[in-house]
Structure 1
Amino acid sequence: MFVKGFVADPVVYSYLMLGFVRDGDSDGVFRLFEELKEKLGGVVSDGVVYGSLMKGYFMKGMEEEAMECYNEAVGENSSVKMSAVANNSVLDALCNNGKFDEALKLFDRMKNEHNPPKRLAVNLGSFNVMADGYCGQGRFKDAIEVFRKMGEYRCSPDTLSFNNLIDQLCKNGMLAEAEELYGEMSDKGVNPDEYTYGLLMDACFEVNRVDDGATYFRKMVDSGLRPNLAVYNRLVGKLVQVGMLDEAKSFFDIMVKKLKMDDASYKFMMKALSDGGKLDEILEIVGGILDDGGIEFSEELQEFVKGELSKEGREEEVVKLMEKKEREKAEAKAREAEAAEAAKRSARAAIASLIPSKFGDKVGGTEMADNANANEAASVAEAQAGKEVNLEEATAVESASADANTT
């Protein structure tokens, strides 16, 4: 890490130390801290690294050392500068290592010191950490309460914050509270995202509120969000499971235009339709695949369709459908080519009618001169539209026109 001419940055080291924490490498954390300490002359006065250092000690089972580090960072006589970010890291270390009471004390101190804009001792991250901490203690009502109080400290929740708490509530059987929080998002000017709706949909499915789960999915789509394929698959899977095949097919029809379905998704829907005796709808899906040039009707999927249709002796219908679609494509190409040629002819005629004769209207006056003018205009039109008249033909026409005028 030593680079000649550069001063060690505690913030950079904090990110590196956090990486070692996530990898479970406590020795790496200690090594980086000692390196930073040496680089800074033996004293690290920026508190941003202390949370990760505490986590390293906790990982090693060195609780006493972790708390000594804590006192060094936030003790009464500490000279370490603790920002909101630094405090949040320490809070997280305490909450996740059996020191929640200490975390509460530190959090209260942070709130008391908070005096914006002069002193920003807490931020959104502080409330997120404490909400997580309360949830970890099974104190979900307190988690909701602390989450709602952040506005008193000029902090505003974002979508990620709402999702985090909604997720915790849904996982612990508190769907009603999660839905109440969801309802507060619009009041806070926060927009739900795909993850928000996915959480609520899955939670509804867990308690057999299938219609409500499907409603959350529809709200997501109606709001312009695009769910991923996994969320769609869970929706359709649940609808089919409870016998709501028509609803499942309705969602399929909507999402097939918005998502890139894989073979597994097609197979699931087709199998459900087959089991429901709706083979014609399977063929409709195949027709849609064949009409869409961006979707491959793989051999594996073809064989699957044939297998399902063979249950009623209709496997040849998919072959006939494929042949029909090929004919239609060929005919469409032929019509396009014919239309293009007609447009080209029309363009030639239009150009010919607009180009004036270079001989003028008053020269000659004979029928031969008129013909010469017409020939000249046609020649120019041919050259402009398709360049199909070569130089020799144009010269011949011009020569004939000159002879006619001379005569």
Structure 2
Amino acid sequence: MSLSKPISARRLVPALFPLAHADAASAAAARRERRRDTFVATPPVPAPSPSAVRLAEPLPTLAPSRLAFHNRILALLSGPQADLPEAALLTRHALHSNCRPSSFTCAAVLAALLRARRLDDFFALHRFALQAAVPPTAATHVLYLSALAARRLPDDALHHLRLLARPGSPVPPSPTAYRVVVECLVADHGRLADAVELKDEMLDSGFVGPDPKVYSLLMAGFVGAGDGAKAVELYQELKDKVGGEPVLDGIVYGSLMKAYFLMGMEEKAMECYKEVLGVESGVKFRAESYNEIVDALGQNRRLEDAVKLFDRMLGEHDPPLRIAVDLRSFRVMVDAYCAAGRFEDATAVFRRMGEWKLVPDVASYNNLIRHLGLNQLIGEAEVLYNEMCECGVGVNEETHVLLMEACFSVDHIDDGISYFDKMDGLELKPDATAYHKLVDGLMSFSMLDKAQEYFDQMKGKGVSRSISSYETLLKAHVAAGQLDNAAKVAKGILLDEKAVFSDEMRELLEGALRGDGREDDITKLYEDVEREKAEAEAQAAEEKARAEALAKEERDRRRAEAAAEDEAAAKASAAAIEAILAHKRKMENRVSPPDANSLDGGFLSKLGLKSAGEDTLQGTHQITERTGEDGRGQLW
């Protein structure tokens, strides 16, 4: 009996079972097809582009050595071994080492430099870190914007922020970035229109929603400009943006109350105060929010309410769980007491900082010194200055300028000048505003020559002269009849690229010279200015050409040195190759060519045997035995 299936059954197999195959070839083809479907070739992962944006590495992912370096830098920035210059120098040197600092390490050093107002070192380290391809974080951008604001460069800060807000930005701007730039525009430069435009851009960008802090800064700016209605309008806009509900961030209510006080709506302001600070209120207040309310009350003859709120803040203060009081809280209370003429109480509340473990900083001292100086309490102001020097609180340029103005207000001219001169010994750098206040004060005492002396010092110290100082000196010289000095000042204005000689000043000088019968001096002045400008341009062009020639000479010298080094290397390489070839030829001539015996000798010597003819002399015929035709042995 045959075990094979009938032909009919074999024909039905492919139809009944789709995976069955008629022959081995089709089965193999099917298997190959299944393999191709199963193992799909994945394209190789492309290498990252060198121009691709890099993001900051999280701290937990850092290597142990880099994390140890980060902790070392933090130890140098705080604690008993604090050394900011060493930390900055160490970070800069490590940027091109095997243990590179992370983005957070660089941000920590930059923040310390910004707090110390070492702006030149800040910008140098920031630029060096970018060149070393350290990816910036959102905090790094905020620090950079703050430094630009401190350097009084609002346009640069605005441009940088708009670059961050572009679509597809790897590090989008944070709310703090907008706050820094808006505060710079409003508080430092009074550019309210630009600040409002930036607020609209913030809302349109989609990165940041309606930020109460930004609205508060704008409202405070319009209150300072005397436009309370616009501040109230901004509050209503913010309220609409959050859905028509009351704003639960208390930061806006201080500016809102100031707007109501400015518009003469005192009842509305106090109603707002009681509503947001009531027991059932859902508005959240922090130290900054409380400070704005206290300032609004203190500056509008509501000292008792301000004191009550300040006591409430002290009662709620429970660090670290709740921070309801900070250094600015005491500063606004000092402002409130001084506005009411109670300077002893202002000094007393200033002394209470230590009770709450707060150490007054230079801004707190300067605030009280300013109030005392404005009210001619120079003795108390000098006591505070001596206390600052004894306690190690670093005095700054503002401290000396405030004391100088206070001395001028009580006719202590020499003391005021001495406070200004002390800045040189302390390595402080007064800006153009400080020099302008000094020049103004000296001219108020008819010390025109002394004022001109300090004005001339500005150029030597690299301080750009302000147009207000130019105009003040020009008017003073014309009023004193010193037309030659007035012409020198006018000449300085015309030669200064950053100053503009206004028509008013031009008419004042030309009228004074014509009145003195010196019309020719007017023409001579303008001719001298044009000649000196042409000479300056020619000198600049000559220096530029000289610099280009020196640069070309340096490039040619480097190219010649590189060519000489390449030629010397080629000669050395050729000499080395020739020496190797000569040695090889020498060795080939010294050693005889190997034969069959020498080839086998090495192997036989290892066995303790000798090859045939090994011990025979050269030129001697080797005698061997071989069998002849007759079967006998024969010698050969």
225, 228, 237: which is aligned to 1:24? Answer: 228
Q: For 1:183-203, what per-residue CA distance to the aligned partner results, in whole angstroms no more than 9, with x for missing partners? A: 233345443333332222222
Kindly indicate whether the alpha-carbon contact (under 8 Å) linking 1:13 and 1:32 is maintained by their aligned counterparts in 2. no
235, 240, 244: which is aligned to 1:35? Answer: 240
Q: Which runs of 5+ in 2 are unaligned?
A: 1-199, 551-556, 565-636
Aligned counterparts of 2:525 and 2:221: Cα–Cα separation in 1: 55
259, 276, 282: which is aligned to 2:463? Answer: 259
Aligned counterparts of 1:162 and 1:86: Cα–Cα separation in 2: 22
373, 397, 418: which is aligned to 1:215? Answer: 418
Kindly indicate whether the alpha-carbon contact (under 8 Å) linking 2:276 and 2:283 is maintained by their aligned counterparts in 1. yes
Q: What is the SS of the residue equivalent to 2:334?
A: helix
Kindly indicate whether the alpha-carbon contact (under 8 Å) linking 1:273 and 1:282 is maintained by their aligned counterparts in 2. no
**TM-score if structure 2 supplies the norm length?**
0.42
Aligned counterparts of 2:441 and 2:266: Cα–Cα separation in 1: 47
Q: Structure 1 residues 271 and 97 mapped into 2: Cα distance closer, same or farther (>3 Å)?
A: closer
Q: Structure 1 residues 130 and 241 mapped into 2: Cα distance closer, same or farther (>3 Å)?
A: closer
Flag the structure with more relative contact order, 1 or 2, with Cα contacts below 8 A and sequence separation at least 6.
1
In the alignment, what sits opposite 2:306?
103
407, 417, 432: which is aligned to 1:228? Answer: 432
Aligned counterparts of 2:209 and 2:311: Cα–Cα separation in 1: 35
Q: Structure 1 residues 282 and 96 mapped into 2: Cα distance closer, same or farther (>3 Å)?
A: closer
241, 245, 248: which is aligned to 1:45? Answer: 248
Q: CA deviation at 1:14?
A: 3.5
* Equivalent residue pairs, number: 341
Aligned counterparts of 1:48 and 1:233: Cα–Cα separation in 2: 36
* Matched letter for residue 303 of structure 2: F
Kindly indicate whether the alpha-carbon contact (under 8 Å) linking 1:29 and 1:53 is maintained by their aligned counterparts in 2. no
In the alignment, what sits opposite 1:194?
397
Q: What is the SS of the residue equivalent to 2:423?
A: helix
* Matched letter for residue 300 of structure 2: N
Aligned counterparts of 2:213 and 2:391: Cα–Cα separation in 1: 32
327, 332, 336: which is aligned to 1:133? Answer: 336
Q: Structure 1 residues 81 and 271 mapped into 2: Cα distance closer, same or farther (>3 Å)?
A: closer
Q: CA deviation at 1:33?
A: 5.3
Point out the more displaced range, 19-28 or 88-97: 19-28
Aligned counterparts of 1:295 and 1:125: Cα–Cα separation in 2: 37
Aligned counterparts of 2:449 and 2:263: Cα–Cα separation in 1: 56
Q: What is the SS of the residue equivalent to 2:301?
A: coil
Aligned counterparts of 2:404 and 2:440: Cα–Cα separation in 1: 13
Kindly indicate whether the alpha-carbon contact (under 8 Å) linking 2:212 and 2:238 is maintained by their aligned counterparts in 1. no
Q: For 1:72-115, what per-residue CA distance to the aligned partner results, in whole angstroms no more than 9, with x for missing partners? A: 32223433322111111221222233322111111011112212
In the alignment, what sits opposite 2:135?
none
Q: Which runs of 5+ in 1 are unaligned?
A: 356-407
Q: Structure 1 residues 73 and 172 mapped into 2: Cα distance closer, same or farther (>3 Å)?
A: same
Q: Please give the residue correspondences for 1:180-329 in structure 2 after superposition, counting only pairs within 5 Å.
A: 180-222=383-425, 223-228=427-432, 231-236=434-439, 239=442, 247-248=450-451, 251-252=454-455, 254-257=457-460, 258-261=462-465, 264=471
Q: For 1:354-405, what per-residue CA distance to the aligned partner results, in whole angstroms no more than 9, with x for missing partners? A: x9xxxxxxxxxxxxxxxxxxxxxxxxxxxxxxxxxxxxxxxxxxxxxxxxxx
Q: CA deviation at 1:169?
A: 1.6
Aligned counterparts of 1:235 and 1:167: Cα–Cα separation in 2: 16
Q: Structure 1 residues 272 and 128 mapped into 2: Cα distance closer, same or farther (>3 Å)?
A: same
Q: What is the SS of the residue equivalent to 2:243?
A: helix
1:93 is the counterpart of 2:296: yes
Q: CA deviation at 1:173?
A: 1.8
* Matched letter for residue 240 of structure 2: E
In the alignment, what sits opposite 1:148?
351
RMSD: 5.5
In the alignment, what sits opposite 2:266?
63
**TM-score if structure 1 supplies the norm length?**
0.61
Aligned counterparts of 1:131 and 1:202: Cα–Cα separation in 2: 20
Q: Structure 1 residues 270 and 120 mapped into 2: Cα distance closer, same or farther (>3 Å)?
A: same
* Matched letter for residue 305 of structure 2: E
Kindly indicate whether the alpha-carbon contact (under 8 Å) linking 2:219 and 2:232 is maintained by their aligned counterparts in 1. no
Q: CA deviation at 1:162?
A: 2.8
Which of the two has higher C-alpha Rg?
2
Point out the more displaced range, 69-78 or 133-142: 69-78
Q: What is the SS of the residue equivalent to 1:226?
A: coil
